[in-house]
Amino acid sequence: MTVPVFISYHGTDFAIARELRTSLLRLSDDFDVFLDRDTIARGAEYKRVIAAKIKEAEWFVIVCTGFPRRDADMMWSFYEAGQFQATLRDSLANEANKRIVCVFDSEPPSILSEFQGVQVSEKQRSGQPIDMSLRPGQNIQLDDSAIYNFLEQMITNSPDQPLRAVGTTSAREMLREESHKLITQFLAAGSHVIVEEKSLQPRISFELLADTKLSPQTAVKSYDASLRQLFGIESEETTWADIVQTCARRMEASRHGFPILKLRPPKS
């Protein structure tokens, strides 16, 4: 019995996607996990292979890490998800929304809101923090994490029968270890994401007069509620000082900090 899985990802998330593939293969030899860079043979017809693997898949997993991405940034993954939904075999068609899964750490793209979402964080589903310093295999706090639940679901929700018994001590320890590994990878990736100027330029703007520099009093205008989306500021106009203070408060409130934002004033 083989369970085909197709992993889609944004280009910058390849390392996380590869880690997820490794985790699934370790949890069960019955997973057949497709990840383009690791699976497509050199010289193969790329589009044909992609289409065939999507058609075979019983799970479609999208990896989306770091600062919330615009829908346009994930367009290729959306296209592949549409192919999966359209070609999923009849016996699984009623589970399509559960079998398209977005694994994220901050906020999933809005277009994926109707599908299953798995938020990877250092918190249990109850909201309590996970002590990541404990030995992963014995850390029962991981049992209540979203990623543990998702991995367990993939093992047990097979069309024929569970891929392995998840109630054994060895299975639980392995699920905890892989969950710990993925949480650590997601946290490391998200805390170092830099949103470049080209992504922010259409969303907020500020004006600098000749021979002036960006200052705390510089007015910043919002477009399409971007100040709320990016910084949690509800107004349509604010100052650079307010943005800096908002980011500082978030960094203080979170042990892992707010995603690093680098803004550069437009060239005169």
Residue of 224, 260, 262, 217 whose CA lies nearest to 110: 224
pLDDT for 74 equals 79
| Confidence at residue 199, expressed as pLDDT on a 0 to 100 scale | 44
Distance between CA 136 and CA 77 in Å, rounded? 32
Q: What is the pTM of this model?
A: 0.68
| Spans of the chain below 70 pLDDT | 41-44, 66-72, 158-160, 190-203, 209-211, 224, 250-268
Q: What domains are defined for the chain? A: 3-190 (3.40.50), 197-253 (no CATH)
Please write the tens of the pLDDT for every residue from 91-143: 888 888 889 999 998 877 777 777 889 999 999 999 999 999 999 999 999 99
- Which residues in 86-122 are b (16+ Cβ under 10 Å) and which e? eebeeeeeeebeebbbbbbbbebbeebeebbbbbbbb
* Interior/surface letters 176-191, b for 16+ CB within 10 angstroms, e for the rest: bbbbbbbbebbbebbb
Measured CA to CA, the distance from residue 151 to residue 107 in angstroms comes to 20
Q: Residue 261: its pLDDT value, please? A: 44
